[in-house]
Amino acid sequence: MRNAPAHKLAAAGIAGAGVAAAAAAYLIVGGVPGLLYAAGICLAAFLGAVAIRAGRKDETLPADPAQETEAAPRQPRWRRKKHIIAELQVELATTKDELEEHRRALANLATQLSRETEAAQRNAERLEQRIRELEAERDGLLELVAEERARFEQTLDGIGGGLGRHGNELAELERELEALIAR
């Protein structure tokens, strides 16, 4: 309640300043328009003083917080702040939950990436081993083909030489046969 004189003084100051401004407006403008300006300024000053006096009741706090009961109306300014704080706390909790959910998702993705990387590495090693096996098998088959080709060429040479010798014998037999026929 120590703020009560300050509120009274502030309200009186606003009212006094309004009356002084109204008098100045009337003297400067003059006539009916000056009177209307003065009335408007006085009305504004009066409403400002009333607002300051009414605000005093909302802003005074009891000396003992235990005297305040649940049924007592809360101050509008504090209620607004209380609601804003509550909304911000709810938003903070929601954001915290979303952040935790994102952290869990990132951890799951990191685990999955690690497993897939290990699986890809094992698969690459298995494929490299299979490639080495296939290359060794290819080299063995190339050696086998080279050996078979050499054997086949030897066989052909043997057959070719035998055919050539038999061809000479046949040619000789044909000549003898022609000689016999011609006699």
Q: Is the pLDDT of residue 71 over 70?
A: no
Is it the case that residue 63 has pLDDT exceeding 80? no
Half-sphere exposure for 28 (CA within 13 Å, toward CB) = 8
Q: Is the pLDDT of residue 102 over 60?
A: yes
pLDDT at 170 over 80: no
Contact 41, 25 (CB under 8 A): yes
- Predicted confidence at residue 168, as pLDDT, reads 74
Structure tokens at 117: 């990387």
How far is residue 14's CA from residue 10's CA, in Å, rounded to a whole number? 6
- d(CA 69, CA 76) in angstroms, rounded, equals 16
Its sign, for the CA torsion 88, 90, 91, 96, is positive
The residue count of the chain comes to 183
Closest listed residue to residue 5, CA positions, set 71, 56, 69, 59: 56
- Does residue 29 register a pLDDT over 70? yes
The per-residue pLDDT for range 135-158, each reduced to its tens digit, is 999 999 999 999 998 888 888 777
Q: Is pLDDT at 96 greater than 80 in this prediction?
A: yes
In sequence order, the 6+-apart residues with CB closer than 8 A to the CB of 177 are none
pLDDT at 104 > cutoff 70: yes
Which residues have a Cβ under 8 Å from the Cβ of 152 and sit 6 or more positions away?
A: none
